[in-house]
Amino acid sequence: MKRELGIARCGLACCLCGENTSCHGCNSGECPDKDWCENRKCTLEKGISHCSECDRDCKKGLLGKIKPYGFTLFIRRYGVEELLDCLERNEKNGVVYHREGVFGDYDDFEDVEELIHFIKTGER
């Protein structure tokens, strides 16, 4: 885990991303998706650093997927440091962020509350 990379604007965990060797995140100015990323554009327009700071329950852009949406809700409830602590603990206990491509253990959920429970406990 590269904790210093933190969490992307949309809630994805840059700190665990397999692409973090070449990607420097949403705010680096080097993001290859910066021209089309709805979440980046929206947060910049609102003057906030993360979707979790917005007061709307939004499913725009990547928030239409359960992992970034669940991570964003987790941050709203418990804070970004708690999310990072949980992700780090889970990784040490064998939870995999990217198992195949960009899909891993946090993607296999249909219910956001079950995902949040998994983040907190590492247990299904």
Query: What is the reported pLDDT for 64?
Result: 95
The pLDDT value recorded for residue 25 is 73
Domain residues for the domain of 10 are 3-121
Overall number of domains in the chain? 1
Low-confidence ranges of the chain (pLDDT < 70): 19-21
pLDDT score at 41 = 92
Are the C-beta atoms of residues 68 and 116 closer than 8 Å to each other?
no
Q: Rounded distance, CA 66 to CA 69, Å? A: 5
pLDDT of 56: 92
89 touches 41 (CB < 8 A): no
Q: Identify the pLDDT of residue 20.
A: 61
pTM to 2 decimal places: 0.91
Q: What is the pLDDT of residue 89?
A: 98
User: What pLDDT was estimated at residue 111?
Assistant: 97
Q: Give the separation between CA 10 and CA 79, rounded to whole angstroms.
A: 14
Nearest to 72 by CA among 106, 44, 35, 34: 106
